Amino acid sequence: MDFSGKHAVVTGGTGALGTAVVGMLLGGGASCTIPYVHDAEAQRFPHSGRKEVTLIKVTDLSDESEVTKVFGKTPGALWTSIHIAGGFAADKIADTDKAALMAQIDSNLVSCFLCCRAAVKAMQAAGGRIVNVAARPALEPRSGAGMTAYTIAKSGVAALTMALAEEVAKDGILVNAVAPSIMDTAANRKAMPKANFDAWPKVEEVAATIAFLASPDNRVTRGAIVPVYGKS
């Protein structure tokens, strides 16, 4: 996929999935702006130091001023904005208070909404692509038992994606999302050592779907919540 001369914002770009996505975008000729929270993330990020990469430290992407800071640093026109950043919590509802619920909504839904808003404002003149990251429980809410707050937040990301896709299609902006199941990462293997890792989708495979949806090759797909489950 050819991203030559195109600029991308990738939130969560220093994580496992984000690193794979950024690698594909850079391989296609893109330049990338990547917000990060912790210094250790930037230090271990394999693409740091490249002239095509701009890393911006932020505190919270559910804060409008922080989002404005990120999108104000894009060199030239913004082609694609990919929103991977979020948080996960698995607790039964009896153990989830309002603060825990709002933490999931802020980290997953509010951050995605604000980044979508900033991206749309940047893309209205020339069009572009927005890709959000929902999750399997957004498509299969019953699978979200034991992680209700997370399921609510990611379901909101899916609804945002579909509504926004309809709103901005006339502006040449195509909005989609992927909905991964548990991905094969080092952290997930450590947390679930007895799981069948072979069934989990690999981050590179999920990244390839994101890259296509974000690319000029995607000419017609909008409003989709694409399951990326692998064999799981």
Q: What is the pLDDT of residues 161-202, one digit of tens each?
A: 999 999 999 999 999 999 999 988 888 999 899 899 999 999
Least confident of 38-42, 93-97, 151-155, 158-162: 38-42
pLDDT of amino acid 232: 84
Percentage of the chain exceeding pLDDT 70: 100
Using the predicted structure, report yes or no on whether residue 79 has a pLDDT greater than 90: yes
Using the predicted structure, report yes or no on whether residue 76 has a pLDDT greater than 80: no
| Cβ 53 vs Cβ 36: under 8 Å | no
pLDDT of amino acid 4: 96
Helix (H, G, I), strand (E, B) or coil at 165: helix
pLDDT of amino acid 47: 96
Using the predicted structure, report yes or no on whether residue 96 has a pLDDT greater than 80: yes
- What angle is formed at CA 124 by the lines to CA 119 and CA 127, rounded to 5 degrees? 85
Name all domains of the chain by residue range, CATH numbers in brackets: 7-228 (3.40.50.720)
Amino acid in the structure at residue 48? S
Q: What is the pTM of this model?
A: 0.96
Beta-bridge mates of residue 83: 11, 132
> Over the chain, what is the mean pLDDT?
96
CB-side neighbour CA atoms (13 Å) of 151 = 17
Burial of 151 (0-12, 13-18, 19+ CB in 10 A): buried
Taking the chain, what is the end-to-end CA distance rounded to the nearest angstrom?
A: 27
Using the predicted structure, report yes or no on whether residue 157 has a pLDDT greater than 80: yes
Question: Is residue 40 very low, low, confident or very high in pLDDT (cuts 50, 70, 90)?
Answer: very high
Percentage of the chain exceeding pLDDT 90: 89
User: What digits encode the pLDDT tens for the residues 116-142?
Assistant: 999 999 998 899 999 999 999 999 999
Location of structure tokens 């002239």: 51
Question: Is residue 74 very low, low, confident or very high in pLDDT (cuts 50, 70, 90)?
Answer: confident
Using the predicted structure, report yes or no on whether residue 8 has a pLDDT greater than 80: yes
